[in-house]
Amino acid sequence: MTTSSDAVTTALADARAISATGADGRAPWLTTRVALDRPPHAVTRAELLATAHGVYEATVNGAPATESVLNPGWTVYESRLQVQRFDVTEQVRAGGTETELSVLLARGWWNGDFGFEGARANYGDTNAVLAALTITFEDGTVQQIVTDESWTATDSAITFATLYDGQHEDRRLAPGAPRPVQLAEIDRSTLIEQSSPLITRHESRRPEKIWTSPSGRTLVDFGQNLVGWLRFTVTGPKGTEITLRHAEVLEDDELGTRPLRAAKATDRLVLAGDPEGETFEPTLTFHGFRYAEITGWPGELTADDLEAVVVHSDIRRTGWFESGHPGVNQLVENSIWSQRGNFLAVPTDCPQRDERLGWTGDIAAYAATAAYQFDVNDFLHNWLLDVQAEANLPPLHYVPFVVPDVLKLRQGGEDPFAEQAPAEVPTAIWGDAAVWVPEALWNAYGDLDRLRAQYPGMVLHLESVERALSPSGLWDTGFQFGDWLDPDAPPHDAAAAKADQGVVATACLVRSARFAAETARLLGEDADAGRWQDLADRTLSAFTAAYVQADGRILSDCATVYALAIAFDLLEPTLREKSAARLAELVREAGYRVSTGFAGTPFVTWALSETGHIEDAYRLLLEEENPSWLYPVSMGATTIWERWDSMLPDGSINPGEMTSFNHYALGAVADWIYQVVLGIRPAEPGYRRIRIQPTPGPGIDWARGAYDSIVGRIEVSWQTTTAGLRIEATIPEGAEAEIVLPGGPSHRVGGGTHTFG
């Protein structure tokens, strides 16, 4: 059987990886020019296969080979390096009797000094490209142009480019005489067909406001915290230097750059003085920003002069929501924009500071929300294969904190987790991503083949946890992040949560073991199913004996432990009712302000609404005082914040070293909004059967929305009136749905539009 990896390896068999060192660190252009074997009109197809250690941009006869950017993206390079395929037939035909193939090469994720705390983590020192252009003519003959030692190198005008620090260009610099390239090494065994969506430009935004700051600097507000870069065309004298600095927020009416930590997020352009104008678009970097500071602009800067380009992986929007509450509508939009900005190559924690890593805990919390808002089937499946690949690299054998785990390659600084988390120690929630993300994808898409491919990652995680359990059967040993970013934790100690870490971890293990057992049954792995069900049962018994009292109280008595116990179905009915009452009591005692972190936040509204405390759930959602979901909205947020109070009420930035304004994890409540407030739920995996079950509550009197499921578009709208509740639902043709009315009967319906009330 020929695999896709075999296919790309075969297609690139005659190619050699090549590299070049640019003068003074400049990004090199690698080029070849070859005569066509037949006239250009005889070309029936031309396909470029390429990949790199670094990031590359290919042109064929001066035209871009693709609209995508930052190829080949980021994977576990040690074992999975994606190869891209581009149809360049028109570019080859347009080139006459010769074809010129050029590749611009830069550092990207390969050796861009990644990581925080001065990690300077790199996969290698040398950037290289491997490519083959295959041209098919109408007579059936084939000509191939491959990277090899015959290529030459010149220098681009790009003097510096990294993802954290930005891109610098000096247009005055000449490319220099062509020089030989060097042969390099790219391990062919790592090559795989492109499996994740490409990274592309999606839209552009003009400035909403341009003004002068108190210090005399020109500031620009694009009205939306986004991810990408600035693009403009400008005319000015030779030697004019334009500097662009980026930030998500303002502080003291100046650019708020402290949250960037060591990331410079600065682009520079030195003009050549071309009277026809010079276009600048720094496509070898990206920034997270709403505001920009522009210095050196020749003349007066206007809103027509520049635009912000929005960049992320090419995921398709699938979910929409609108209601009678503007704050909730903005919260949902903030979740959408945070997913867009952080689904760039991998699901990252944040897109702006010296981090931008695939933190596993963030996506474990957010995966269900992500799968409603966008089609993430390919994107997250590819990442889950990376989770397996990374965890299987020695010496790990457990799910690391970040995937790809570039932090293991750190060359400097101190590892902030070295003492707390030695090798062979898994962590709850973060490690549970190997189970919870497949669960979210299974519920959304119902793809058994992909679940089968993801199952080994579940096994690896659970086996690593089994080794970490204490003799009591509890997961109460080793390092844990716990209920990370509990709002009551000190700014400089995000792990200092109210919830007992053993309670959190042990509860998470029960959930993960149960879904692994369900997966094994679906796959026909009966022995495994028994093994994981036994682990779940034993762990639940240990949890109940150690942590749950007869009156329903749970050790550490805070909202998170009750939310997990209820949402994960860890309590028998009598205890569940008592624990739910205690959870509602705690929520009310907190004045409906949020008191949960990463562990509890995705589940606290679920735990309330599923136990009859719907009013408390709505009041918790709609609270606007800090900490709450709507507090950032009241402060003008356009994305989800990392901390409940990333910006303090006085407009100052939270003093914690770790403060992002684009961090999707705490936006996981959107899943509850979609499924409970709007009422669109999968009754079976992949929406093979659909449940429409809106649950209105105080503060929202109407809602409408849609979800483009794999069986078709599902639409729901509802409104409360003096006569009661009116629901309208549109079900895809060929699908079956159950419409559940609050406190009333349920109705089974087929495709079409159905109205009740």
Q: What SS3 state is found at 209? A: strand
Residue 508 token pair: 């998470």
Q: How far apart are alpha carbons 554 and 562 in whole angstroms?
A: 7
- CB-based contacts of 717, cutoff 8 Å, min separation 6: 702, 703, 704, 705, 727, 728, 729
Residue 603 token pair: 């589940």
What stretches of 350-444 adopt beta strand conformation (E)?
none
SS (H, E, C) 56-99: EEEEECCEECCCCECECCCCCCCCCEEEEEEECHHHHHCCCCEE
Residues of 584-617 as b/e, b for ≥16 C-beta within 10 angstroms? bebbeebebbbbbbbbbbbbbbbbbbbbebbebb
Q: Can you tell me which residue has the tokens 């040690």?
A: 78
Residue 108: DSSP 8-state: T
For the chain, how many helices (H) and strands (E)? Answer: 15, 36
Measuring CA to CA, how many Å separate 10 from each of 15, 45, 191, 226, 586? 10, 18, 10, 40, 62
Residue 307 token pair: 């635009």
Q: Can you tell me which residue has the tokens 């079976």?
A: 684
> Residue length, the chain?
757
Do 680 and 694 touch, CB atoms closer than 8 A?
Answer: no
Residues involved in catalysis: 355, 642
Taking the CA atoms of the chain, what radius of gyration do you get in angstroms?
27
Q: Where are the alpha helices (DSSP H) in 77-169?
A: 89-93
- CB-based contacts of 551, cutoff 8 Å, min separation 6: 578
